[in-house]
Amino acid sequence: MKNIFIIGAGLSTPCLIKYLAEKSDEYNWKVTVGDISKELVEKRLQGCTKANAVAFDVFNDEQRAAYISKADLVISMLPARMHYLVAKSCIRFKKDMVTASYVSDDVRKFHQEAKENGTILLNEVGLDPGIDHMSAMKVINELKEKGAKLTAFRSSTGGLVAPKYDNNPWNYKFTWNPRNVVVAGQGGAQFISHGAYKYIPYHKVFTRNQRMHINGYGEFENYPNRDSLKYRSIYGLEDIPTIFRGTIRRPGFSKTWQTLVEIGATDDSFIVEDSENMTYREFINTFLKWDKELTVEQKFAKYVGLEEDSIFMYRLRWLGIFEDVKIGLKRATPAQILQKLLEEKWKLDEDDKDMIVMQHRFDYELNGENKVLESSMAVEGKDHVCTAMAITVGYPVAIASKLILTGEISATGVKLPTTKDIYEPVLKELEALGIKFTEKEIEV
């Protein structure tokens, strides 16, 4: 019998746990799920008798050693900053590890030791990062094998509400961590376009959006996401003239959100005095000039250059930022105040379902001709537990874990799923589970 220890029982874990538990008899596995909250694990395991719940504190050295030493494979679904502790114990006890998070410099340092131990620390095998890597590398390698030269690579992903449940003027609801949405872009963005480096500061990130189309789902837009430059080496595209990664939203989202960035409502660096007793209208007014003639709405529209009767101002009014409703949040930053309001307005209703969309665009030269290939994926959630996010994060982690345990993935060291031995079998099974890409050639 092989022991699987899953650490963390957050929103991305239900499909992962279910997949491994359902295969536990077939492969003779024992599945244990640990979290600081045993109650949360038990909630995730409702109706599942093939996995055990335990209270687990990753910062407890003795407990961490006790559980990891007995495991054959450890799956860390903790926040990224905690993976180092798990990896450290996996190296100590010569255990394989899988995560869905970006590989950190601290974890990367274990590469040689993992190779010497004959173990693998597989990172970035969730959705983004994860499915994005695997689906992109599949096409990149196929094009290279044909003799093609890639001249541009653009890739974007978004977590949205499924079309049937898209019923607000922002065409958006929270399907993941609200805070990450509120502070998105604050590190700026960088990419390369036609051989020229582009650096976009935070206050301009949402002004640089581009339109895109996904078959069956219509029009979207994307804005630049963090550091695209590092993907040149990850994907073996060191000399490519254009590389861009973006975040997908519905059209109009970015321009409206930009107004909140511009006035300072997304700032997380200072405390708003007496925020508990302030109204949202008063909060917005703190960012605007005093004017005895103009209303708060008029001042806002004038400041950000919008027409009062525009769809953008309608979205903002719909949010409730101009209403005399008390905030009721002590010692809050602007970003925290805005997040509290958005959590009320952008929450998924009981019967709502989410959606993940991803699209890659490959520009390349082949036999003297310029060509463009688009590869797109859309996945809708099944319910509030098995969401599209849980499906697309959890299944790749689960499949990769199975392949390691069965010996089909035999690589060692600190790895990403960018090599054929990993991405081919994972993508094949994902397609059988309904997570598949549609490719089409675009006329140049």
Structural domains of the chain, with CATH: 2-127+389-435 (3.40.50.720), 131-252+351-386 (3.30.360.10), 266-345 (no CATH)
pTM for this prediction: 0.92
pLDDT of residue 282: 97
Q: Quick check: 400 and 122 in contact, CB under 8 A?
A: yes
pLDDT of residue 48: 78
d(CA 100, CA 390): 11
pLDDT of residue 350: 85
Q: What is the mean pLDDT of each run of 10 residues along the chain (444 residues)?
A: 94 93 93 93 85 93 96 95 95 97 94 96 96 97 96 96 95 88 93 96 95 92 94 95 96 97 96 95 96 94 94 97 95 96 92 95 95 96 91 97 97 97 97 95 82
Q: What are phi and psi of 17, to 5 degrees?
A: -65, -45
pLDDT of residue 357: 96
pLDDT of residue 304: 95
Task: Name residues whose C-beta falls within 8 Å of residue 75's C-beta, 6 or more positions apart in sequence.
Answer: 4, 5, 6, 7, 16, 97, 98, 99, 397, 401
Q: Quick check: 38 and 54 in contact, CB under 8 A?
A: yes
pLDDT of residue 15: 93
Q: CA dist 121 to 6, 97, 103, 185, 313, Å?
A: 14, 5, 9, 29, 48
pLDDT of residue 296: 96
d(CA 230, CA 243): 10
d(CA 209, CA 158): 13
pLDDT of residue 50: 87
